[in-house]
Amino acid sequence: MNRASFFSPQAGRVIDAPRRIRARFAIGDVVRHRLHDFRGVVFDIDPVFANSDEWYESIPADVRPPRDQPFYHLLAENEEASYVAYVSQQNLLGDPEGGPVDHPSLSQMFDAFDDGRYHLRRSLAH
């Protein structure tokens, strides 16, 4: 399989990953966590787990997701707070509500909410 490497600031190291992945969600998609009561907007995608080993080991072993799947960076919200979340693909679902997310950082990355998803600011697209 064709491989690629990238530096992950969260992990503090170079991550080896497949050159092609099947990400179920795209930047700007609104998603919901399968197990926990929060939703968010995808703002970045790692092709495989690219956070610290300490972060990974802090997940209870019986629910720890495999590392070899896409992981998503989310501008997340629940009823109490807004925050940034890092979630495996297996733990995300499309958001059936389809409504906007109320996160204070949304306007820094996205322009409009249209047809159930956010559109990346033109100045950030490449």
Q: How far apart are CA 123 and CA 116, in angstroms?
A: 21
Query: Which residues are CB-contacts of 14 (< 8 A; sequence separation ≥ 6)?
Result: 5, 6, 7, 8
Token digits of residue 39: 């939703």
In the predicted structure, residue 126 carries a pLDDT above the cut 60: no
User: What domains lie within the chain, and their CATH numbers?
Assistant: 3-120 (2.30.30.390)
Q: How far apart are CA 19 and CA 81, in angstroms?
A: 35
Residue 24 three-state SS = coil
22 or 75, higher pLDDT:
75
Over residues 46-99, the pLDDT tens digits come to 999 999 999 999 999 999 999 999 999 999 999 999 999 999 999 999 997 778
Q: How far apart are CA 111 and CA 75, in angstroms?
A: 14
User: CA angle, corner 29, sides to 97 and 88, nearest 5?
Assistant: 100
The residues that bridge with 56 in the sheet, in sequence order, are none
Over residues 94-119, the pLDDT tens digits come to 997 778 999 999 999 998 898 889 99
